[in-house]
Amino acid sequence: MHPFKPTLFTLFSTFILAAASGNIQLDFPYFTTTNITFTGDSSLTNRIISLTKPTTFSTGAILYKNPVSLFDKQTNTTSSFSTTFSFSITNPNNPTSFGDGICFFLSPNNLSSTSSPSPSFSPFGLPTNFVAVEFDTRFDPRFNDPNENHIGFNIDTLNSLRTVDPIFNGIDLKSGNTITSWIDYKTDQNSLSVFLSYSGTTKPLEPILFVNVDLSEYFRDNEDVYVGFSASAEKSTELHQIESWSFYTIGFEPARPRLHSHNVSDNSVIGNAINGNGHISRSSNSKKRFGFGFGFAVAGPVFFCVVFSLLGYYSFLRWKVMKKKLLKDFEPGFVACPREFDYKELKSATREFHPSRIVGHGSFGTVYKAFFISSGTIAAVKRSRHSHEGKTEFLSELSIIAGLRHKNLVQLLGWCVEKGELLLVYDFMPNGSLDKMLYKEPERGKLLNWSNRFNIVVGLASVLVYLHQECEQRVIHRDIKTGNVLLDGNFNARLGDFGLAKLMDHDKSPVSTLTAGTMGYLAPEYLQYGKATDKTDVFSYGVVVLEVACGRRPIEREGQKMVNLVDWVWGLYSEGKIIETVDKRLNGEFEVEEMKKLLMLGLSCANPDSAERPTMRRVLQILNNEAVPFALPKVKPTLTFSSDLPLSIDEIVSDEDGDGCEEFNTSQSMCEIKID
């Protein structure tokens, strides 16, 4: 194994070297050019790797740039390994024609970066010496392929040692959907298992392909191997993409050193005397002390075992009572969560909730990235704060989102109530939150092109229609903002953080509550009367639409004054200059009429008069060109309330330039106002 000098990697990818055990862990929730070698036609676009181009005879491969050692000469042992990756195979130009597919491989060959496919590549895009798992989408009788949709295990030949058709498990490799594969090699069992699923988070219980194989000889002959992926389009224009990847090894545990005689301390003979015959003898006092010590040595551990057992039993009862009490407090409509996680498992997966694993902050908690070594999966763990508000938010989020299913929701995987902790486990969203993409790093903001942004707006509208009108009980989110809109590997919007959400019967009127949310996104009537409705969510959605189009925060400081985004856009709209509000980082690369429609839709949703706002269903129809946009007044309507807000906008909004703003925190403040 080559030595590695510790470095600080970017958020795009992570490489961890466990020097103590000789194991490695590669973690690429999304990609940059860091630590990746590109060959042939492979390329990087929007942090997703394309192994081929949508042209005929395209071939490409990627490798982790450093070799991996899977054999240890000192212990004569072979390492186990596991890898997880998400991929897609599409053919946008000709859906009826497909190429060779994708291979995950290990090879001693270090492929140098070239602008064209290497001549040493086989028809599948593989190097000449390899162990591979192929995801084949073409029937080629030369290699005894069973059909055009199969998974095969190969060693140094394209004639697979074993194949299986995943269609019997409901998986079509040519579907164009994102597919996740888990590949596990266990050296102690001489077995290789391949799992496959459309879900990127839930590993199937049974493998789709199982091979009894001993790879020790291969790795003994090829001590250092490179790991990566290859693909070939052959005569088609098949496009092969890798969206995320993790790889880790398990093994090389050093043998425990023997305890030699010179390591034993001679303190064990203190208090003994040597008589004239050379034998060890003890005085009467020594015998008494020995008897007392022996009695304490026996009774002491028994006593402490009893005490610890009682304490453990008491803690267990206390935990059961607390969990039972929490479950009693669930909102009506609660549906059982998919899984109750073990605290130790979550603690280990987050490296004991290490600060380096923090990826964000919710309304009343911190979100950690969790890597589950046993399954090779990645998740997000939300840790609620130890407070009354934290408990309330935990209960609200668990009881509401557990029963919801929509493609634009962050999927809840499970929960844990143990050791005084309140933990929720979610799908991990590799592209983070929308606000980070728009604001944190300008070079990352450019990745959100017009197509990405429009797709995000449509996805968010779709899930709000589901929450407001299609659920058994209407769900009012109450905290729609860019910080709570997460992005998956394809930049699809996923709404999260239901800590402030409320359930409401469809035929019931809203009741006044403590106003909660984020300033800049709160509807005027909600601030005034504290009544959350679907129309208050529509207002927040309108602000998000304007953010996405304009690349500006809802409230920004300009000099000594605060500028409201809705007021700013409406003012330029009144002057006939609404297109001047568009984010300059788009460089004019957008459809002008579509952008105008989007901006005016944002203003319609953010209308101060709630009666004039469209429903989310109407919004979705407008976005899909199924309905005409609302008529929008040239001048922003004004509303008059009986009492003024108790705080000025300058008092409410935090200073973005202050030193207290951490990397993962949004700059907006939480605001809770009671209106009498």
Q: Catalytic positions, please? A: 479
**Could you tell me if 79 and 1 are in contact, meaning their C-beta atoms sit under 8 angstroms apart?**
no
Distances (CA, A) of 438 to 147, 198, 432, 453, 599: 45, 29, 11, 10, 17
User: At a CB cut-off of 8 Å and minimum separation 6, what does 590 contact?
Assistant: 450, 582
Q: Which of 231, 242, 224 is nearest to 122 (CA)?
A: 231
User: At a CB cut-off of 8 Å and minimum separation 6, what does 25 contact?
Assistant: 15, 16, 17, 18, 246, 247, 248, 249, 371
Rounded CA-CA distance 522/515 in Å is: 9
Is 634 known to sit in a ligand binding site? no
Q: Is 672 helix (H, G, I), strand (E, B) or coil?
A: coil
Helix (H) or strand (E) holding 451, with range, is helix 450-465
Distances (CA, A) of 245 to 15, 62, 241, 471: 11, 12, 11, 35
Q: How would you write 301-315 as a 3-class SS string?
A: HHHHHHHHHHHHHHH
For residue 125, the Cα-to-chain-centroid distance in whole angstroms is: 30
Residues in the chain: 676
What count of other Cβ atoms lies within 10 Å of the Cβ of residue 411?
20
- Greatest extent of the chain over all pairs of C-alpha atoms, in Å: 115
Angle subtended by helix axes 450-465 and 616-623, to nearest 10: 150
* 89-107: burial string, b at 16+ Cβ within 10 Å, e else: bbbeeeeebbbbbbbbbbb
| N-terminal to C-terminal alpha carbon distance within the chain | 69
Annotated binding residues for ATP: 382
Annotated binding residues: 382
